[in-house]
Amino acid sequence: MMDEKIDLVSQPKKSFWKLSIPIIAFCLFDSIYGIVDMAWVTQINIHASFAVSISIPFVSLIFSFGDSLGRGTNSLISRYIGFGDYESGYNTLIHGIIITNIIWIIILFCAVFAQEIIYSVNPADSYLLAMDYLMPLLTFAYVFMFVNFFSETLQAEGNSRIPTIFIISSNILNIILDPIFIFNLNLGVKGAAYATVLSSLIPFIVFVLMYLLGRTKIPLSRKYFKLRPYILIEICKVALPNFLDEGLWTFTSSFINGILTVTMGPVGPVIYSASNKLKTLLNSPVRGFGRALMSVTGHLFGAHEFDELYEMYKYTLKVSVITTIVVMIAFIFLREYAFSLFSIKGMQTEILWIAILGTVIMISLPFTIVSSKMLDGFGKSMYSLFFIFIKLCVQCGLIYVLNMYHINHCVLIGVTVSEVLSAIIFYAFLRYLFKNFNEKYENEDVVKTFNSDDETESL
């Protein structure tokens, strides 16, 4: 164990940048890896591209278990450390690991049944290829879940540099292995999955060893463990909404893929998948800012520094919007080259509309992402889930109606309107919360402590 205090409160902006720069680098490389991975797959054939495109929402859903549980654990650890109750923070880490192991076992059972159902119900080539891609990833879900989980928990102690270094190394190795496994070994989409599994073992082994050998500020030790239902509930209060958010996105993506398959054929989901890959790349800075803000928010919230919280919210929004505008100006000029990486050519009109309305979407996203991550830091992620549910209902409903009337670009219009609406709702709600924090928590703690026999509960 590294006997060192964790301070993200005294200089929150400095802590924010110290965390955010490595996270942004991680998000950028992770996005580039996703694009390169997809680019290799598109060179196999259209069936392989279609198979991977329809698999991506489900892969994201599985991976989000580790991310979501990591965020829930990160949020509560940060609040405890900000409050000064370090031992409860250490105990929170163990609770998070236990929940993640339980979820992995459930996923493993579900994967076995899902394989049998897919093969018996839909034996079409594209869907069989989808299962070829999915099964190695589902089998090694444990590795992906804990890579994501430990990346989040390390951020709770102010360490985003180590996760970034090793995950970027993993992505670079994946990019190198992809063509070897896909083409040289003639494994096709299975090769892409095997390359992902093999490369992900690097950060997994490193993170596990860091905790087992005591190379972290937050120790992993049985002596700090005491089962606390409150801790389990608080982790799930952040993890469950984040996971359901991903689940809702999976449902929406499947719905949109269905619309696009009918209206455009197999190329529709490929364009949609490519657009999502590019969106992930372009909003990497904003996602990095949001994830860094979540950890800082937890510490400030635990320390009752509500004025500093509001200043950090405004500061992060300002930085995020300015960064997004600069990024989108560059994308508008490079849009056709970007889509050509996915072997999408001869669709200049569609790409132009994606660039135009995509700019509106991207400028709206900081308000949703930053606000959502701040709510995670507060431990109030259920509000975020509710707002995102409203957004996706509006999105699907609008797309469905526009498609009924054969309106061109119905998907793009539906996504744009719903993202703008989401930005307005999130921003208005955060402003409301900040106006009431001092009054609500003036004489209350923001977490339940276990340092004395007289345990009191807040919230």
pTM value > 0.85: no
Q: Which two tokens stand for residue 161?
A: 């540099």
Q: Which pLDDT does position 117 carry in this prediction?
A: 53
- CA atoms within 13 Å, Cβ hemisphere of 395: 24
Report the distance separating Cα 298 and Cα 304, nearest Å.
Answer: 10
Q: Which amino acid is at 162?
A: I
Question: Is the residue at 1 inside a domain?
Answer: no
The string over 205-223, giving b where at least 16 C-beta atoms fall within 10 Å of a residue's C-beta and e elsewhere, is ebbeebbeeeebbbbbeee
pLDDT in tens, 85-118: 999 999 999 999 999 999 999 888 877 776 655 5
Question: Is the residue at 108 inside a domain?
Answer: yes
Q: Which pLDDT does position 38 carry in this prediction?
A: 76
Question: Is the residue at 100 inside a domain?
Answer: yes
Higher pLDDT, 30 or 329: 329
- Number of structural domains found in the chain: 1
pLDDT in tens, 137-174: 888 999 999 999 999 999 999 999 999 999 999 989 99
- CA atoms within 13 Å, Cβ hemisphere of 376: 32
What is the pLDDT confidence band of residue 343, given thresholds at 50, 70 and 90?
confident
* CA torsion through residues 314, 293, 25, 60, sign: negative
Please provide the average confidence, as pLDDT, over all residues in the chain. 88
Secondary structure letter of residue 343 according to DSSP: T
Question: Is the residue at 451 inside a domain?
Answer: no
Report the first-to-last Cα separation within the chain, whole angstroms.
Answer: 31
What does the pLDDT average to over 338-347? 82
Question: Is the residue at 47 inside a domain?
Answer: yes
What does the pLDDT average to over 346-350? 84
Contact 220, 212 (CB under 8 A): yes
Q: At what angle do helices 125-139 and 141-156 cross, to 10 degrees?
A: 50
Question: Is the residue at 446 inside a domain?
Answer: no
Question: Is the residue at 198 inside a domain?
Answer: yes
Burial (CB < 10 A; 0-12, 13-18, 19+), residue 129, is buried
pLDDT in tens, 239-250: 999 888 877 887
- The residue count of the chain comes to 459
Higher pLDDT, 318 or 346: 318
Contact 269, 53 (CB under 8 A): yes
Give the closest residue to 203 by CA, choosing from 158, 161, 235, 238. 161
Contact 75, 238 (CB under 8 A): yes
Residue-range definition of the domain harbouring residue 107: 12-440
Question: CB under 8 Å to 100, separation ≥6 — which residues?
Answer: 65, 66, 69, 145, 146, 149
Q: Which pLDDT does position 114 carry in this prediction?
A: 62
